[in-house]
Structure 1
């Protein structure tokens, strides 16, 4: 089945009004880098990113977070946020925190606590609804001006070599649009299939050279054309057999993927290690609300419009308080 671009809205199951022609996506001049001067890798990778992506030097904020804690308390986070915000001008629409940890604030993720404010109520009832994301489904190119929020993402720094490779994939995504596939898996872990109803219909979007594949399987193996991989597994097998294309997005609906340095379930870092360019996971028990994870049709539809990875991911999560966004924010393989 060949699907024309005009039929994309129907294929993805997203309202046409939400997908009017997109304005230009996030630019390097609108991105701030936050570097932890107490972590040498953060300093080196942050400067490498700044030069590689041509982020203005005045957009860099230096902070000190000793000992790389996994979690901050509310008071520590408030002090950090005030320090960052004091250095940012009104033109800054997004913030990239150049470190792996801290990645949580109380039971919230640090990226969501920064962008939307700390949602303390969800810590008492983690399996309840959390603060709604005003940017969910938005076509706005100015989240700060129009929604009062700066999007946030982490750039992991455990390995300088892997971080530079990740940045390289983000940059490479801007040069060509290869033939690719988006994989959506309904798995044997039934509780983790709560967003399967939002998987886009199988087919080919010819104008984007993208084939959408829906499978009943626990993993894919030996595929060399992965642009999107969304599933629901506590641990995803056979990642080492896959080839992710520059700009690829990948995530799993599971409870603790955002516990980046934890071991209870597969860390979202493993997606980046395998070659994805951006990912998402929850730092505390979210239960299986689809609203707390990237909505598949929404994520794909916005990414195909040409926005960056950070914009597409943030537009796809309705209740992101517990979820941490990680990767290379400016990747945009469909921006032409």
Structure 2
């Protein structure tokens, strides 16, 4: 389906089939660290911004000493606390910066799909297929018995609130936007996803979107960025660009999901620059494209009107090492613009 959508015609508007998300604020469980006042403040702000019912707010006891990686026992305790308070929610929004992993698994992967400790025996081995990959499902719990999870990192209260606001604002207007797909000189990180980049100059006029596939190392002073996919350990000039509400961006590298990493850029750097959703791996994955978002799949579902969390989760075939971060309900493409026949 996806390869057909993003191949062929210069304007692919007529190849897109609208499939608006069915996720509602009631479907989101907002989970905060009861030992962290900032986590609770941001969680309550999310409830207000997204009109999530108060009963969907869940406080959990995380280790008082800040930890990046949970042990299996600590994860099982967290999971039990969450499940004891869940109803019919289909999305788990985790409101804190750390922890973000369980052994070699990302915390979002472990909560959504269950632990995969076999992967930890050799993290560079192929991963476990996700049945949700490129799925047509609009009911993750009913169809796949999974609750999609995403981390909303609290680097600061102001930054977290701004991220929430961007997600909320994404639905109010259809803006002229650009998608960028960079082929860099870092072959190990760039080449795996290049087959999934669209032809340069492709447009989606019904979504007011133009796609640019470029041979360069980074974007600088780019305007109205909605998509930005690249392969680099560190991405320069992020703060010089302007990003639309609902923007998705990530860089294929080994430890982008290690949010306290100092030698490779963490995914949170994208959020700090003004992006609404990003992704990174928490343990050495090697450069399988299947362990990273497939740009074609992300765009096909996002442009059809699905939410950020649905589109991003559907784009990773082997997601157990990958951490999804951002505001889950952003959906900038629920609207369409009229397309004049050529």
How far apart, CA to CA, are the structure 2 residues paired with 1:21 and 1:185?
Answer: 27
1:230 aligns with 2:229: yes
Aligned to 1:76: 74
Corresponding residue for residue 260 of structure 2: 261
CA distance in 1, matches of 2:92, 2:160: 17
How far apart in 2 are the matches of 1:19 and 1:284? Answer: 35
Length-normalised TM-score, structure 2: 0.92
Other-structure match for 1:243: 242
Asked if residue 131 in structure 1 is aligned to residue 128 in structure 2, the reply is yes
**TM-score normalised over the length of structure 1:** 0.94
For 1:124 and 1:323, locate their aligned partners in 2 and report how far apart those are by CA, in whole Å: 17
Structure 1 residue ranges (4+ consecutive) displaced by more than 4 angstroms after TM superposition: 18-21
What is the CA–CA distance in structure 2 between the aligned matches of 1:279 and 1:33, rounded to whole Å?
19
Q: Which residue of 1 aligns with 2:313?
A: 314
Aligned-residue offset at 1:264:
2.1
Q: Secondary structure at the match of 1:162?
A: helix
Equivalence for 1:102? 99
Cα shift at 1:37: 0.9
- Quote how far apart the aligned CAs of 1:201 are: 2.3
1:151-197 deviations in Å (ceiling 9; x for gaps): 00000112001011111111110101100000000101000121111
Whole-angstrom CA distance in 2 between matches of 1:222 and 1:10:
28
> How far, CA to CA, are the matches of 2:45 and 2:29 in structure 1?
14
Q: In the aligned structure 2, how far is the partner of 1:208 from the partner of 1:179?
A: 8
Displacement, 1:19? 7.3
Cross-structure match for 1:15 = none
CA deviation vs aligned residue, 1:14-33 (integer Å, no higher than 9, x gap): xxxx9754253321110111
Given the superposition, is the C-alpha separation of residues 167 and 292 from structure 1 closer, same or farther in structure 2, using an over 3 Å criterion? same
5+ long unaligned stretches in structure 1? 1-6, 13-17
Q: Distance in 1 between matches of 2:8 and 2:65?
A: 48
Q: Which residue of 2 aligns with 1:3?
A: none
Q: Which runs of 5+ in 2 are unaligned?
A: 10-14, 336-342
The aligned length equals 324
1:162 and 1:318 mapped to 2: Cα distance? 30
**What CA distance in whole angstroms lies between the structure 1 residues aligned with 2:273 and 2:92?**
24
Between the aligned partners of 1:55 and 1:280, the Cα distance in structure 2 is 24
2:69 aligned with 1:67: no
State how far apart, in whole Å, the 2-side matches of 1:134 and 1:67 are. 36
Show the counterpart of 1:157: 154
Q: Matches of residues 1-336 of structure 1 in structure 2 within 5 Å?
A: 8-10=5-7, 21-65=18-62, 66-89=64-87, 91-193=88-190, 194-202=192-200, 203-336=202-335
Mapped partners of 2:321, 2:16: distance in 1: 26
RMSD: 1.5
